[in-house]
Amino acid sequence: MINAQYINHIGVAVKSIEAARAFYERTLGLKFEGIEEVPEQKVKVAFFSCGQTRIELLEPTTPDSTVAQFIEKRGEGIHHLAYTVDNLQERIDQLKAQGIRMIDEKPRKGAHHNDIAFIHPKSSAGILTEICEPKKNL
Ligand code: ZN
């Protein structure tokens, strides 16, 4: 048990941030926090805050991006859920010891300077699950 604290963000795969933005910003009234490019994941990410949780719109920047492949197979929609944890490397080691399949066995950098790691969907009931340690003092 890794004591996930709260939903840090919900990653939503979209074909176009520009097209989807109005719904989140104007219809739902969430606060737009900016756009960041994450070259390692071949996506552009738009952030909207909803309490302590963010909605992250993920737009692929290349056709071989895993998000592009996701949209091709399943259409636009929820791509992953991210839970806040502390001591990320310890949590990864704990999950591995429990026989949970990890995509990332070492923390890597996500958007917003968070350290993140993905759990394999085969071990997470079908939803790609991220654990995420927010950077302190930012
Ligand atoms: Zn994420």
| pTM for the full predicted model | 0.90
User: What are the structure tokens assigned to 12, written together?
Assistant: 């939503």
Is the pLDDT assigned to residue 85 strictly greater than 60?
A: yes
State in Å: Cα 126 to ligand 1 middle: 16
Q: Are 116 and 102 in contact (CB under 8 A)?
A: no
Q: Are 34 and 48 in contact (CB under 8 A)?
A: no
Residue 106 pLDDT class (50, 70, 90 cuts) = very high
Per-residue pLDDT tens over the stretch 117-131: 999 989 998 899 999
What is d(CA 42, CA 56) in angstroms, rounded to the nearest whole number? 14
CATH numbers and ranges of domains, the chain = 6-134 (3.10.180.10)
State in Å: Cα 117 to ligand 1 middle: 9
Question: What is the pLDDT averaged over residues 89-95?
Answer: 96
State in Å: Cα 97 to ligand 1 middle: 23
State in Å: Cα 128 to ligand 1 middle: 10
Indicate the DSSP class of residue 20: H
State in Å: Cα 118 to ligand 1 middle: 9
State in Å: Cα 112 to ligand 1 middle: 10
Per-residue pLDDT tens over the stretch 41-63: 899 999 999 999 999 999 999 99
Is the pLDDT assigned to residue 101 strictly greater than 60?
A: yes
State in Å: Cα 123 to ligand 1 middle: 17
SS (H, E, C) 67-93: HHHHHHHHCCEEEEEEEECCCHHHHHH
Residue 138 pLDDT class (50, 70, 90 cuts) = low
Average confidence score pLDDT of the chain = 93
